Amino acid sequence: MNKSQTTGMYIVLAIVIILFASSVFLSEPAVKIQEISYSNFIEKLNNDEFQTVEKADDFLIATPKAQPKAQEEKTVKTLAPSTENPFGTIEKKPQTIKYKVLTPAFDPDLMHRLSESKADVKVTRATDSSKLLGNALSYLLLPILFIVFLAVMAKSIQAGGSQAMSFGKSKAKMLLDSKVKTTFKDVAGIDEEKKELEEIVDFLKNGDKYIKLGAKIPKGVLLVGPPGTGKTLLAKAVAGEAGVPFFSLSGSDFVEMFVGVGASRVRDMFAEAKKNAPCIVFIDEIDAVARKRGSGLGGGHDEREQTLNQMLVEMDGFGINEGIIVMAATNRVDILDPAILRPGRFDRKVNVGCPDVRGREEILEVHAKGKPLGDDVDLKKIAQTTVGFTGADLENLLNESAIACAKEGRKFIEQEDISKSFIKIGIGKEKKSKIISEKDKKITAYHEAGHAILFHVLPDVGPVHMVSIIPTGSGAAGYTMPLPDRDETFMTKGKMKQDIIVSLGGRIAESIIFDDITTGASQDIKQATNTAKAMVTKYGFSENLGMINYADEDEVFIGRDFGRTSRDYSEDVAKTIDNEVKAIIDDAYTQAKSILEEHIDILHKCAKLLMEKERIDRAEFEALFEKDGEEVSLDKQNVVSEEVDVEPGEF
């Protein structure tokens, strides 16, 4: 029986008890006994006012033929619910009044008088045990039912059915070794990380050979990396390979609004782990509970700090080689408390990064199992075109492709399905139904053509994969998608400067063609500014400032940065930083404008083609640069009036 059914049963039982209590204690008795004097009884008997007379040993019970008028007034007619009286009226049944008379011991003629009267005379015992028993049961039923109700509730609370009594219980889900089906074969693209964890598996399987040499089993393994790289999958694979129980929970499962609950759950979790040792305890997103202490917020009695303190004690309190390994995953290792990162708690830190091209191909092969692929699908080519994708991104790519294929009723996934899913994931779903004016389409076409030309001309960026002027779900009026053909470990100064030049291409194209600018380049300007600022403050690419890091932390953590109000450098340095950033942007602007003016004919050709087809691929775009013997040398103003049909400044 689930919780909802149990709650429903309790509600029904409570309603029954209330109804019974109201019927027993609130209802009036059907018979009312009224005592009268013996002389009054004799008078009424002589007047033939009694219908029946019951004689006991020491008293008489007489029922009059006609009930008193006062009793008739108590009878109320039942009215049906109405607008004026939505609940109706309660019907009061009339009571029967009987007279009780004590039998005198000096009247020997009593029986003679009763026999001569016209009343029906009955002789009964002084006490009726059946009636007494019935009355006793009727009044004892309510307490009995109440006691039974309390007993059932107490049993439910002891069994853990009450949520209020289980605050301190751990929410960890234990998977036995027979239920953990994930192995290292299901993990691809991170071979070095798997090798590090294979030692943990060997510790759990063959711990004796390490103990003989005096080695200690690592108490904790911290998996660090961006979201979607397979940290949780690695932990499950370790449990599956080792064949041991696997406790899984999130860091937020410890946090409650009640002080002391988190610490209690930590104690309960490790107590359960010790009972099932050897085992693995996996805490996902441990940064939710293991953040740095001493922020000044909440004081020393903060619930989160108490939970962390208890976790520190439990992890350091293990005995040697107890067989309990704590695995945790996070993408914010910078905000973790130093006490939990030291050896003896988390002995190892495994960095799980984004896979390279070979790793992406292996991941695609894993997720392609069970998905029928067409002959034109090349997983190696897909791996080359998905630079920067994590394992979760690749899984999502193939899943979206399968959904698109099933939607069209085909049996095999084609390359076109993967290409559409690639655009959908990277940029957003195209909104072909959105109505765009011809003027906006022309502006967008020249804007995206400016980006595409710079991608093609500059050596360290591109090549161009697709150019489109179809609006997307991200709010962009169009997009230019490059296609990096290789993984890059380092970013060079020249590559970053070329990225800035490409970002400014759309704005410069608008300025050249229309002699005016739009707000469409706001995101491009933001991206260019961030890149230039990183070059100056973070990577030491400025000759005037030298190799000094002036960059702030990437992400603000209030527990660390609370109360920090000033920069670590002077106002003069801040002014120099601003000047250096502006100089980089200005120089990039000049170079981008020079390149676009040099390729003005290609700019017009690309914009015209985009206006016709709305979306062009790599082959169509690169064909524009092939010389066909015709020289295009048109005056800018003539081109604007003839091809674009937009006057300068028209917006």
Report DSSP state, residue 104: P
- Give the CA angle between residues 487, 492, 494 to the nearest 5°: 120
Burial (CB count <10 Å: 0-12, 13-18, 19+), residue 184: middle
Nearest CA among 51, 55, 49 for reference residue 100: 55
Burial (CB count <10 Å: 0-12, 13-18, 19+), residue 415: middle
Q: Which two tokens stand for residue 207?
A: 């711990």
- Cβ-proximal residues to 81 (8 Å cutoff; 6+ apart), any chain: 87, 88
Report DSSP state, residue 546: -
d(CA 231, CA 253): 19
One-letter amino acid for residue 619 of the chain? A
DSSP code per residue over 148-186? HHHHHHHHHHHTT--GGG-TTS--PEEE-TTT----GGG
Residue with tokens 């360290």: 460
Active-site residue (options: 430, 448, 510, 580): 448
d(CA 110, CA 40): 14
d(CA 527, CA 453): 19
d(CA 290, CA 346): 12
Residue with tokens 């949780």: 232
- Residue pair 149/13 in contact (Cβ under 8 Å)? The answer is yes
d(CA 503, CA 37): 114
d(CA 368, CA 394): 10
d(CA 541, CA 625): 34
Whether 510 is catalytic? no
Nearest CA among 243, 249, 245, 244 for reference residue 269: 249
List the beta bridge partners of residue 329: 223, 284
CA atoms within 13 A of residue 594's CA, in its CB half-sphere: 8
Distances (CA, A) of 503 to 267, 454, 455, 499, 592: 54, 9, 10, 6, 9
- φ, ψ of residue 518 to 5 degrees: the values are -120, 180
- Residue pair 307/168 in contact (Cβ under 8 Å)? The answer is no
Distances (CA, A) of 266 to 170, 287, 607: 7, 15, 63
Residue with tokens 């104690």: 267
Active site members? 448
